[in-house]
């Protein structure tokens, strides 16, 4: 979860893959706070590798603890000694108590006597008021207590707390550094260790809290999820600043990043799915569960149950709309300053000896690619190497656009063509395994540029906009979210690494080379950073298309797509708007038209009523490129439909009288 001032909460991913990543780095300690209001963790995704039985807090904790090799402090909705006992039994080493410590201070004493002081962490959420005074808040920052943090800290220590986890509400997620005087005041008031949290925006902020505010330990959340190898780099910065700590591990022996798959189990899973597909009554593994009401954003047309992590705020408006407002309200001056940040990163890493390019731009040949190269080469003045993963799904127009890039921009361009035989296998196998025939494309695009960067010692990779930020508001502007492996593994690869396919139908590791991500050690040594242009220059697809058409003769499609009204997107992959997107509709009940219409509502191009009509017209359409795809991989349509049906999300779809039905936005909007 990404959190800001305790009010904005954005889902940024699956806790299991996040914690796997932290284990890779041998993180010193993990504080995991469950901020859900009820005891429900919905991670039901048939199309992702990570799945687990159960959905309660304890189920989640038990699942996490199995792969968690670091000390784990777990908090959230702990009210009784039994709650603590259950969490310890499920794998927690310490429990973090907040509201209940305030409601019933003796609870701290009882917990400390029963489980030992080392097990009892009291978390204090402090707000600095505008007059400079500080106050403790409970109930997730919602309820004022009138207590001063240092007084409350003294009291919880007296009652037996072994540690204090001090969070600053007003600094939370803001990224402008810790509230140093708050940390110092609480540290001075107590003799138990105080862990400072809230406000880290730069790796340098950690050592500042240790040296200038005497923090016993420093914690952060957001920053660790925003950048590649964030934890090793944070420790590198602390050690450089003179903090005595053990360096992070980037080559863990016991917690390797790329783990083997249990091929027997995985094969059983696939066979079971195929058997299910062939049976007359396709059933979902979750079909017996309660199905919640469908909800949509009140402003755009995005559903809450979606392929992208999505959350609504208290007004029922989605984070995608909220973040669009945030980005729209950036002033021209601020954009200038943000452009300067990008220029400095590129400039510091430009080639000084002429033995390599200045940066890498992954390009598909689409409108965004044209804009990226235009901006980096012709606006900022750097010499990029273009890198393309050729997924063999180009439209004629898209292919012409791709191959003209070297000419119109006068740049070098590497195009990697994987073997067609392999692509056919991967298309078919990944449809069966995860309901996404384009696994190869998503992972190829997310791997090849990074491989090239490491091989050629080019430390900067420039991506376009961050798709999940613009679509579902996953991150905010001051996060300066950067490329990272977790994002690739979880979202591009759905938890299925390249080695998942090795051994199936004779596929060898060598066949899968272009999907093999470089080792953490090599990425660390390269100093690799993947920057998203969307954080540094105003990203408006409708403006960009005009620019690249007029300045660089970018061609758009003459024929409209089957599944969306936009003609300028995804020319590089006929299936991305077609079969791939149809699968999204089968899984979640919406498609690319919903994505495009939501974006166009946010940029003021469409009204919500117009958008709903478009969604109604396009989202369900079975696309004509399916004919090519079935012929390409050798599958018949009935088999395809059967496999698709096994991925239908039971929260969205029900089968009534042999027909799949779902509720629709227009049913209620009228």
Partner 1 sequence: MLAKPQIVVVDYGMGNLWSVLSALEFLGARPLISSNPADILKAEAILLPGVGSFRLAMKSLIEKNLGEAIKEAVQIKQRKILGICLGFQMLADFSLEDGMTPGLGLIPVPVEGFGDQELEGRKLPHIGFNQVILPNSSVLFDGFTGAEDFYFVHSYRLLLKALPGKGAICNYGVDFLAAYEYKNVFGVQFHPEKSQDVGLNVLANFLQFARDAGRKV
Chain contacts with partner 1 (rule: CB under 8 A): 23, 26, 28-29, 65-66, 69-71, 88-91, 93, 115-119, 162-163, 191-193, 216-217, 245-246, 249, 252-255
**CB of residue 67 vs partner 1: minimum separation in angstroms?**
9
Helix boundaries (H) for 473-556: 485-487, 520-526, 541-552
| H-state helical runs in 494-607 | 520-526, 541-552, 579-588, 592-602
Helices 149-159, 180-189: inter-axial angle, 10-degree rounding:
40
**Are 514 and 451 within 8 A, CB to CB?**
yes
Residue closer to partner 1 (CB basis): 71 or 316: 71
Name the minimum Å distance from CB 24 to partner 1: 10
Least distance to partner 1 from the beta carbon of 28, Å? 6
> Which of 91, 105 has the CB closer to partner 1?
91
Strand partners, 2: 10
If 0-12 CB within 10 Å is exposed, 13-18 middle and 19+ buried, where does residue 582 land?
buried
**Of residues 65 and 597, the one with the C-beta less far from partner 1:** 65
Whose Cβ is closer to partner 1: residue 153's or residue 319's? 153
Q: Which is nearer to partner 1, 216 or 294 (CB)?
A: 216
Backbone angles phi, psi at 254, to 5 degrees: -90, -25
Name the minimum Å distance from CB 73 to partner 1: 10
Nearer to partner 1, 73 or 593 (CB): 73
Q: How far is the CB of 239 from partner 1 (least distance, A)?
A: 13
Task: Determine the Cα–Cα distance for residues 485 and 20; give it in Å rounded to an integer.
Answer: 11
For strand 30-33 and strand 72-75, is the pairing parallel, antiparallel, or unpaired?
parallel
At 276, which helix (H) or strand (E)? helix 263-278
Task: List residues bridging with 386 in a β-sheet.
Answer: 361, 413
Paired strand residues for 127 = 135
**Listed residue (123, 121, 126) closest to 163, CA to CA:** 121
Minimum Å gap between C-beta 117 and partner 1 is: 6
The least CB distance from residue 88 to partner 1, in Å, is: 6
Query: Of 90 and 136, which has the nearer Cβ to partner 1?
Result: 90
| Dist CA 527 CA 228 (whole Å) | 9
Cα(670)–Cα(665) distance, rounded to whole angstroms? 8
Task: Read off the tokens for 168.
Answer: 């600053």
Between 23 and 395, name the residue whose CB sits nearer to partner 1. Answer: 23
> Cβ atoms within 10 A of the Cβ of 630, count?
16
Q: How far is the CB of 70 from partner 1 (least distance, A)?
A: 6
């Amino acid at each position: 979860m990404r959190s800001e001032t305790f009010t904005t909460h954005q889902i940024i991913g699956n806790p299991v893959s996040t914690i796997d990543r932290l284990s890779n780095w041998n993180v010193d300690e993990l504080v995991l706070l469950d901020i859900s209001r009820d005891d429900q963790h919905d991670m039901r995704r048939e199309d992702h590798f990570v799945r687990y039985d159960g959905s309660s807090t304890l189920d989640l904790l038990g699942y996490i603890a199995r792969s968690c090799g670091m000390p784990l402090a777990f908090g959230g909705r702990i009210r009784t000694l039994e709650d603590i006992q259950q969490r310890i039994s499920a794998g927690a080493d310490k429990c973090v108590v907040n509201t209940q410590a305030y409601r019933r201070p003796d609870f701290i004493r009882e917990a400390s006597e029963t489980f030992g002081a080392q097990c009892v962490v009291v978390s204090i959420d402090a707000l600095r008021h505008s007059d400079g005074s500080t106050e403790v808040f409970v109930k997730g920052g919602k309820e004022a207590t009138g207590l001063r943090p240092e007084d409350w800290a003294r009291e919880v220590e007296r009652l037996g707390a072994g540690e204090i986890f001090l969070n600053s509400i007003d600094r939370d997620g803001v990224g402008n550094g810790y509230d140093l005087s708050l940390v110092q005041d609480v540290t001075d008031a107590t003799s138990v260790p105080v862990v400072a949290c809230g406000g880290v925006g730069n790796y340098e902020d950690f050592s500042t809290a240790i040296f200038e505010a005497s923090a016993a330990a420093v914690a952060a959340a957001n920053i660790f999820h925003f950048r590649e190898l964030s934890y090793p780099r944070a420790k590198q910065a602390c050690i450089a600043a003179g903090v005595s700590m053990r360096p992070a591990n980037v080559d863990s022996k016991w917690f390797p990043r790329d783990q083997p798959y249990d091929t027997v189990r995985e094969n059983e899973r696939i066979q079971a799915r195929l058997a299910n597909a062939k049976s007359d009554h396709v059933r979902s593994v979750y079909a017996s569960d309660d199905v919640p009401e469908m909800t949509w954003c009140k402003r755009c047309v995005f559903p809450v149950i979606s392929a992208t992590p999505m959350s609504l705020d208290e007004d029922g408006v989605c984070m995608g709309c909220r973040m669009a407002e945030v980005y729209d309200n950036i002033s021209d001056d601020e954009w200038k300053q943000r452009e300067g940040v990008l220029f400095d990163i590129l400039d510091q890493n430009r080639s000084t000896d002429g033995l390599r390019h200045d940066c890498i731009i992954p390009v598909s040949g689409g409108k965004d690619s044209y804009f990226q190269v235009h901006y980096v080469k012709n606006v900022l003045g750097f010499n990029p190497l273009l890198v393309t993963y050729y997924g063999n799904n180009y439209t004629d127009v898209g292919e012409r656009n791709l191959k003209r890039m070297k000419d119109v921009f006068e740049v070098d361009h590497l195009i990697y063509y994987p073997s067609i035989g392999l692509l056919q296998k991967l298309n078919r196998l990944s449809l069966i395994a995860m309901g996404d025939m384009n696994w190869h494309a998503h992972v190829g695009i997310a791997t090849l540029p990074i491989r090239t960067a490491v091989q050629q010692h080019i430390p900067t990779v420039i991506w376009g906009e961050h798709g999940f930020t613009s679509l579902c508001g996953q991150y905010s502007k001051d996060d300066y979210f950067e490329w990272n492996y977790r994002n690739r593994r979880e979202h591009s690869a759905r938890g299925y690494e390249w080695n998942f396919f090795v051994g199936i139908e004779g596929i060898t590791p060598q066949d899968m080379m272009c999907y093999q991500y470089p080792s953490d050690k090599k990425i660390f040594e390269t100093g690799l950073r993947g920057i998203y242009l969307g954080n540094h220059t105003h990203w408006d697809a409708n403006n960009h298309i005009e620019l690249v058409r007029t300045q660089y003769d970018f061609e758009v499609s003459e024929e409209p797509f089957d599944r969306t009204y936009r003609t300028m997107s995804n020319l590089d992959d006929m299936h991305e708007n077609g079969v791939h997107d149809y699968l999204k509709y089968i899984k979640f009940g919406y498609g690319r038209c919903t994505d495009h219409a939501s974006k166009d509502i946010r940029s003021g191009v469409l009204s919500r009523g117009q958008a709903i009509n478009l969604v109604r017209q396009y989202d369900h359409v079975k696309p004509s490129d399916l004919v090519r795809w079935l012929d390409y991989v050798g599958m018949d349509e009935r088999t395809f439909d059967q496999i698709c049906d096994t991925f239908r999300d039971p929260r969205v779809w029900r089968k009534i009288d042999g027909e799949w039905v779902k509720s629709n936005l227009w049913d209620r909007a009228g």
